[in-house]
Amino acid sequence: MKLLEEVQLKLVSSLKGKDLLTLLDYTSEEVQDLIKLATQLKALTKEGKCPKLLDGKTLAMIFEKNSTRTRISFEVGMHQLGGKSMFMHSRDLQIGRGEPISDTGKVLSGYLDAIMIRANSHEMVKELAEHATIPVINGLTDIYHPCQALADLETIAENKGTLKGLKVGYVGDGNNVAHSLVVAAAHVGMDIVVATPDGYECNEEIIAKAAEIAKANGSIVAVTNDPVEAVMNADVVYTDVWTSMGQEEESKKRLADFKDYQINDELVKFAKPNYMFLHCLPAHREEEVATSVIDGPNSYVFEQAENRLHAQKAVLASILA
């Protein structure tokens, strides 16, 4: 506790021992406090003073999908906080040979302090969390990507100085990244307009839940099929790949369906002159985004990627310290 007082950190104590499966499970205050904590931890890390809050703690990292940012940021984050991490591919575990995920959750709970999992099925991750007696963190599923959304908020807050009252325009697939971004924006009072091609819209139930949260925070959630409507006067313009992992067989059709949804120089003219361009990466230049945009002066994608590290440290510290 003395260490916390010395660096004046305020952990989000209400999250201690809690899962992070979706930001819908967190309050707006908890989300906002996590962003403040992430920013503090980033500053301390840059000064070489990241507190060793997780000394003696061990995080399991289970991957069904390949990863660059998720694996490295969680591994480095645990190290910087004084803890340890273990990388495990699902094929190396007994779940790859048919062991029930419920049994895996119970077994791992006897060895570890928390589990981070990057999986194909959100339902499987929910089942793991139900049977584990330690916190489970969603590193990505088919429906949600909450850690990415926290990093997005941190990046916007650091560069705009505020979150409430800003407008985010998301253009592209109504996927897991879009779902978590919509919920995150609602929690902090940002307006968000999501533009997708017909047939690629976000989950209606998630949009409805996010809209309720947004209303309580004085903002709006809107959906459209018009990319210009989404980016009009936007403070932040966001996109993701058109074809995610596991959708490769749909690639040809998706390229045709999304051809009018590229973030390019013509489209961003409708955004504010000082708009921020964000992308969760990896990016396919000249598909969902023009090279001139992602490598241009309004792009913050690499700072955004770095902030995965600090946002996740805020989560890890709050649920484990």
The annotation status of 145 as a binding-site residue, yes or no, is yes
The annotation status of 71 as a binding-site residue, yes or no, is no
Instruction: State residue 238's pLDDT score.
Output: 99
9 or 109: which leads in pLDDT: 109
Q: Using an 8 Å Cβ cutoff, are 73 and 42 in contact?
A: no
Instruction: State residue 277's pLDDT score.
Output: 99
Region 174-201: what's the mean pLDDT? 98
Is 148 annotated in the active site? yes
The annotation status of 159 as a binding-site residue, yes or no, is no
The annotation status of 245 as a binding-site residue, yes or no, is yes
Instruction: State residue 293's pLDDT score.
Output: 98
Is 118 annotated in the active site? yes
Considering 32, 40, 80, 148, which one is annotated as catalytic? 148
- Please state, for a pLDDT cut of 70, what percent of the chain lies above it: 96
Is 280 annotated in the active site? yes
Is 79 annotated in the active site? no
Considering 50, 118, 142, 312, which one is annotated as catalytic? 118
pLDDT tens across 26-83, in order? 999 999 999 999 999 999 999 999 999 999 999 999 999 888 999 999 999 999 999 9
pLDDT tens across 224-248, in order? 999 999 999 999 999 999 987 667 7
Considering 50, 152, 254, 280, which one is annotated as catalytic? 280
Is 142 annotated in the active site? no
Region 11-24: what's the mean pLDDT? 98
The annotation status of 68 as a binding-site residue, yes or no, is yes
Considering 145, 187, 254, 279, which one is annotated as catalytic? 145
Considering 19, 80, 240, 279, which one is annotated as catalytic? 240
pLDDT band (50, 70, 90) for residue 5: very low
The annotation status of 202 as a binding-site residue, yes or no, is no
pLDDT tens across 247-303, in order? 777 889 999 999 999 999 999 999 999 999 999 999 999 999 999 999 999 999 999
pLDDT tens across 150-167, in order? 999 999 999 999 999 999
Residue 8: pLDDT over 90: no
Instruction: State residue 2's pLDDT score.
Output: 42
Residue 320: pLDDT over 80: yes
Residue 11: pLDDT over 50: yes
Is 240 annotated in the active site? yes
The identity of residue 187, as a single letter, is: H
Residue 7: pLDDT over 60: no
Residue 93: pLDDT over 80: no
The annotation status of 280 as a binding-site residue, yes or no, is yes
Instruction: State residue 94's pLDDT score.
Output: 64
The annotation status of 70 as a binding-site residue, yes or no, is yes
Instruction: State residue 250's pLDDT score.
Output: 84
Region 74-96: what's the mean pLDDT? 88
pLDDT band (50, 70, 90) for residue 99: confident
Q: Which domains does the chain have, with CATH numbers?
A: 2-144+308-320 (3.40.50.1370), 148-304 (3.40.50.1370)
